[in-house]
């Protein structure tokens, strides 16, 4: 097996070399060839939709030939982009998880888009003004634009309306506060002796999702999770996060209405579809999946608050890696602007379930019709009014994992929230130390 893999690599290299020899003849005359790296973070149909989109672009733009390259998950896309940059052949554009931008900018891996915006004769304010304000925090770093929002999400509360009615609850008046949610979860939990046959609520916790849910709960408890202005600080050991984690733990240990342990996102959505969990917190990105598979009436609602209504955004932005040649940069910029235009943005939103970041997309006739047919898609957009940026720090992933590992211990009953958060803070401070040594602690 090893040998065959090696052989295939060899063949791939040989193929690339042959390609390199064959292509110079074409360069200069033909269209500018560019690659677009794209991930598929949810179910498989996205790859086909992307193919359709790029085909349309190539047909309407004869001077550019774009190729869509599928690069796996968000994390895989970061790895492959970094590998391509290191090899000196960066792709011209990448759909990158919105919270990786800061980390990439700190590593000097991003093209500053300010000059391209200026060359178009628009100002930064006008350009950013097209998008929902909540999305700008993850696209702008040090007052320069580094990313263009492409598809985005927020967390939602999904409710099994049939089960709610059975329990004597009114699904048209979903829980607004943590107190109400706890009450609903108690009423929706079914027991046979000690055994639970139906859980009141389930919240996912696997690497990536766990950090996002902790940010959701912390924000609705008044907290911030991280310093939005500076990549060297996170606020793990704080009252707002302690309250959030304690409540989550109480749902498991005290009220016994939430399944114990850390449960990944797909397990949570399956649990909801099968009727095993009556309420779940999940991304907007799962809405199409739930709509297609639920055999019962469901309802989506805002994430309930304890202190205030606030949620983080999720999703991805289009970026350009650093070190591109001028003609490729120009071609990629054309592609990026085309993909984020109201029409295309709306089309992609309807195909995937993400919401369209371009506000004008919701004024297009197709979108108005779609929302009339699927009013549940509106909730995510309405929640954007209270949405805030997604945590992004120096070394975002390890810093997030520092917290997630401790949260998982709490959800499994192995640690108390207070000591877990103190440990998470200590670990994160250690991970952030090199960056602080260069910035906040570098004194004259």
Q: How many residues sit in the footprint of another protein (CB under 8 A)?
A: 48
Q: Please state, in angstroms and rounded to a whole number, the distance separating the CA atoms of residues 305 and 376.
A: 20
- Which tokens hold the place of 273? 């579809």
Min dist CB 176 to another protein, Å, is 28
By CB under 8 A, name the one of 75, 114, 183, 429 that touches another protein.
75
35 binds another protein (CB under 8 A): no
- Which tokens hold the place of 128? 């950013």
Which residue, 381 or 411, is less far from another protein as judged by CB? 411
Contact 368, 207 (CB under 8 A): no
233 binds another protein (CB under 8 A): no
Whose tokens are 């490729």? That residue is: 328
Which residue, 30 or 266, is less far from another protein as judged by CB? 266
**Integer angstrom CA distances of residue 357 from 89, 350, 411:** 29, 12, 34
Which residue, 257 or 262, is less far from another protein as judged by CB? 262
Q: Please state, in angstroms and rounded to a whole number, the distance separating the CA atoms of residues 254 and 190.
A: 16
In 353-395, which ranges are continuous DSSP H helix? 365-373, 376-383
In 140-177, which ranges are continuous DSSP H helix? 161-166
State phi, psi for 258 to the nearest 5 degrees: -125, 135
Residues 93-132: x where in contact with another protein by CB under 8 A, - otherwise, as a string: -------------xxx------------------------
Q: Please state, in angstroms and rounded to a whole number, the distance separating the CA atoms of residues 125 and 239.
A: 36
418 binds another protein (CB under 8 A): no
Q: Please state, in angstroms and rounded to a whole number, the distance separating the CA atoms of residues 115 and 120.
A: 9
In 317-361, which ranges are continuous DSSP H helix? 326-339, 342-352
437 binds another protein (CB under 8 A): yes
72 binds another protein (CB under 8 A): no
Which residue, 344 or 395, is less far from another protein as judged by CB? 395
Contact 185, 251 (CB under 8 A): yes
133 binds another protein (CB under 8 A): no
Min dist CB 102 to another protein, Å, is 12
Min dist CB 276 to another protein, Å, is 5
DSSP state string for 11-36: HHHHHHHHHHHHGGGTTTTSPEEEEE
342 binds another protein (CB under 8 A): no
322 binds another protein (CB under 8 A): no
Which residue, 53 or 104, is less far from another protein as judged by CB? 104
By CB under 8 A, name the one of 394, 403, 417, 428 that touches another protein.
394
Contact 262, 327 (CB under 8 A): no
Min dist CB 17 to another protein, Å, is 12
Bridge partners, 195 (sequence order):
192
Min dist CB 257 to another protein, Å, is 14
By CB under 8 A, name the one of 89, 254, 363, 414 that touches another protein.
414
Parallel, antiparallel, or unpaired for β 277-283 and 195-202? Answer: parallel
Nearest partner of 197 among 189, 187, 205, judged by Cα: 189
Q: Please state, in angstroms and rounded to a whole number, the distance separating the CA atoms of residues 100 and 77.
A: 11
Which residue, 176 or 274, is less far from another protein as judged by CB? 274
Nearest partner of 332 among 110, 142, 128, judged by Cα: 110
Contact 293, 272 (CB under 8 A): no
Element at 167 (helix H, strand E): none
Long-range CB pairs of 324-329 (<8 Å, 24+ gap) are 324/90, 324/92, 324/111, 327/32, 328/32, 328/34, 328/92, 329/92, 329/111, 329/116
By CB under 8 A, name the one of 31, 72, 171, 264 that touches another protein.
264
Min dist CB 111 to another protein, Å, is 18
Which residue, 356 or 392, is less far from another protein as judged by CB? 392
Which residue, 222 or 275, is less far from another protein as judged by CB? 275
167: Cβ–Cβ under 8 A, 6 or more apart, which residues?
A: 187, 188, 278
Which residue, 14 or 27, is less far from another protein as judged by CB? 14
67 binds another protein (CB under 8 A): no
By CB under 8 A, name the one of 261, 297, 418, 426 that touches another protein.
261
For another protein, which stretch binds (CB under 8 A), given 36-44, 117-125, 234-242, 270-278? 270-278
Name which of residues 178 to 207 contact another protein (CB under 8 A): 194-195, 199, 205-207
359 binds another protein (CB under 8 A): no
By CB under 8 A, name the one of 141, 262, 335, 392 that touches another protein.
262
Which residue, 46 or 411, is less far from another protein as judged by CB? 411
- Contact residues for another protein, defined by CB under 8 A: 6-7, 9-10, 13, 75, 78-79, 82, 106-108, 194-195, 199, 205-207, 259-264, 266-267, 270-271, 274, 276, 394-395, 397-398, 401, 404-406, 408-409, 411-412, 414, 431, 434-435, 437-438
């Amino acid at each position: 097996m090893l040998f065959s893999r090696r052989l295939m690599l060899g063949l791939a290299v040989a193929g690339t070399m042959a390609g390199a020899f064959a292509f110079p003849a074409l360069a200069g005359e033909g269209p500018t060839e560019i690659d677009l790296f794209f991930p598929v973070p949810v179910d498989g149909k996205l790859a086909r939709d992307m193919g359709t989109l790029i085909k349309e672009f190539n047909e309407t733009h004869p001077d550019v030939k774009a190729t869509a390259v599928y690069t796996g998950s968000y994390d895989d896309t970061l790895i492959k982009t970094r590998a391509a940059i290191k090899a000196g052949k960066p792709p011209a554009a990448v759909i990158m998880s919105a919270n990786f931008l800061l980390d990439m900018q700190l590593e000097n891996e991003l093209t500053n888009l300010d000059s391209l915006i200026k060359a178009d004769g628009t100002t930064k304010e006008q350009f950013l003004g097209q998008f929902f304000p909540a999305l700008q925090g993850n696209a702008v770093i040090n007052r320069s634009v580094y990313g263009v929002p492409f598809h985005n999400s927020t967390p939602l509360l999904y409710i099994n309306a049939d089960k709610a009615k059975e329990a004597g609850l009114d699904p048209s008046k979903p829980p607004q506060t943590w107190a109400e949610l706890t009450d609903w979860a108690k009423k929706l939990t079914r027991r046979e002796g000690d055994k639970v046959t139906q859980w009141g609520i389930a919240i996912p916790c696997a690497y990536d999702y766990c950090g996002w849910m902790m940010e959701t709960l912390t924000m609705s408890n008044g907290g911030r999770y991280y310093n939005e202005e500076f990549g060297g600080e996170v606020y793990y050991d704080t009252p707002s996060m302690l309250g959030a984690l304690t409540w989550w733990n109480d749902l498991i240990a005290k009220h016994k209405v939430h399944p114990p342990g850390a449960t990944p996102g797909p397990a949570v959505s399956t649990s909801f579809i099968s009727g095993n969990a009556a309420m779940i917190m999940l991304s907007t990105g799962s809405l199409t999946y739930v709509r297609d598979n639920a055999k019962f009436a469901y309802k989506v609602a805002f994430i309930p608050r304890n202190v205030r209504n606030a949620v983080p955004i999720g999703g991805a932005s289009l970026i350009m890696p650093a070190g591109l040649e001028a003609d490729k940069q120009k071609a990629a910029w054309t592609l990026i602007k085309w993909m984020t235009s109201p029409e295309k943005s709306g089309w992609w939103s309807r195909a995937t379930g993400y919401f369209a970041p371009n506000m004008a997309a919701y004024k297009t006739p197709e979108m108005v019709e779609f929302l009339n047919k699927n009013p549940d898609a509106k909730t995510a957009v309405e929640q954007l009014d209270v949405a805030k940026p997604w945590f992004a720090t120096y070394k975002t992933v390890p810093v997030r994992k520092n917290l997630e590992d401790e949260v998982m211990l709490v959800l499994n009953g192995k640690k108390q929230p207070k000591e877990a958060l103190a440990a998470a803070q200590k670990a994160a401070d250690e991970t952030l130390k090199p960056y602080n040594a260069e910035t906040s602690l570098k004194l004259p």
